[in-house]
Structure 1
Amino acid sequence: MADTRTLRWLPWIVAAALVALLAWTATGPWRAIEGIRQAVKTENASALARHVDFPALRASLKPQIQDRLVRAAGVDAQSGPFAAFGLSVASGLAGGLVDAMVTPVGLGALMEGRKVWNRVGGIPPPTRSDTSAQPEPIADPRLRFESFSRATATVTMDDGSELELVLTRTGLRWRLAEMRLPPPADPPR
């Protein structure tokens, strides 16, 4: 008789577990953005590393940075052999810079450098609980699902341009995997 009662509740238990799993997965992008936001506010590179897929992020940023360099150089810079060589060297350096900076160690160094710079300027470092002096990272993101495993968070920058953060899901974990930089400003004429 106990087996019949257990079997009667089994579908409800399975349904509740599936709803909980779906809810956990669906709220993943918001939890990842909040994790990134808190890690940046507290300048915790190891916490940030849990929410960022660094190889994918580097792969998304390199071509965008290199494209901006080529556009900034203009058509005249690509016309001569020495100019083209200089542009290819600059593109390679930009790619190397992205490789070096978009790592947990690189971000930690940037964060530590900012701490040192603030100390030199007389700004006391914020405590883990007092982050009110810092601007809000990823302020007011607009989240949108592109698919069951991909979501974007669009953030409006100070100049009105929009930065898109692309989060991807692997299993139950959501991580920042791509950044779509705002279009470059038109060069002055």
Structure 2
Amino acid sequence: MNQKLIIRLGGAAVAVFVLTYAASPLLAARSLVQAARTGDEKALERQVDFPAFRASLKDELSERMVAEMRKDSRLGDSGLSGLGMLLAPALVGGAVDAFVTPQAISAMVQEGKAPKPDLAKVEPETGTRSESKKVRQSWGYRDLDTFAVTLTRDDQPDERVSLLMKRRNLFGWKLAGIDLSKPE
């Protein structure tokens, strides 16, 4: 009987560990979204790895800017597209360094909008949010160490912002990346 009790306790301990391990990003993501909605800057500062998030945003915006330049036939004809593609990372880098603040992350979560490469300053939308601008959230693992909170606006279903939470220890998570790719 003593051995059965030990086996049951061991099984219960494993079940609690697995449940806590699987639920930890949900709790972290929920905390991040709540802090963003309430504008709690201190909580956002604790929950965001700003250097990693800035690097990820720079990569995403540079890719998007280069793709837009390739689509613009006026740039290709003038021979300036090569120069533009060389300068894009530097232009985006400066804007991102100034842009990524707790307030900007809060605005991104509240509005469900991807930042634009030409942003000089970001301010949340004023006025009441209409139903057409409702932000929907979907949550899920990308892999064992990456959890995504994907924000989609009803009025812009082809645009999405995926905030990537990265595992920092066994149960700890921080916002460390962004994915601005189009839905498939």
Which runs of 5 or more structure 2 residues have no equivalent in the other structure?
A: 107-121
Q: Deviations over 1:61-109 (max 9, x none)?
A: 112211222333435436767765465445312112213332xxx2248
Residue of 27, 31, 35 corresponding to 2:31: 35
Judge conservation of contact 1:152–1:164 (CA < 8 Å) in 2: yes
Residue of 10, 14, 24 corresponding to 2:10: 14
CA–CA distance in 1 between the matches of 2:146 and 2:63? 25
Judge conservation of contact 1:56–1:178 (CA < 8 Å) in 2: yes
Residue of 41, 45, 49 corresponding to 1:49: 45
Matching residue of 1:164: 162
Matching residue of 1:180: 179
Report whether the alignment pairs 1:107 with 2:92.
no
Judge conservation of contact 1:41–1:134 (CA < 8 Å) in 2: no
CA–CA distance in 1 between the matches of 2:32 and 2:157? 22
Judge conservation of contact 2:32–2:44 (CA < 8 Å) in 1: yes
The 1:146/1:68 distance shift into structure 2, 3 A limit, reads: closer
Q: Deviations over 1:44-74 (max 9, x none)?
A: 1221133223232222211221122233343
Matching residue of 1:187: none
The one-letter code matched in structure 2 to 1:176 is L
- 3-state SS of paired residue (2:48): coil
The 1:166/1:77 distance shift into structure 2, 3 A limit, reads: same
The 1:30/1:134 distance shift into structure 2, 3 A limit, reads: farther
Judge conservation of contact 2:62–2:92 (CA < 8 Å) in 1: yes
The one-letter code matched in structure 2 to 1:77 is L
Is the radius of gyration larger for structure 1 or structure 2? 1
Alignment of 1:81-120 (within 5 A): 84-85=82-83, 88-102=86-100, 106-108=101-103
Q: Percent identity?
A: 26
Task: Let me know the Cα RMSD of the aligned residues.
Answer: 3.7
CA–CA distance in 2 between the matches of 1:12 and 1:110? 45
Matching residue of 2:58: 62
The one-letter code matched in structure 1 to 2:178 is M
Residue of 150, 159, 163 corresponding to 2:146: 150
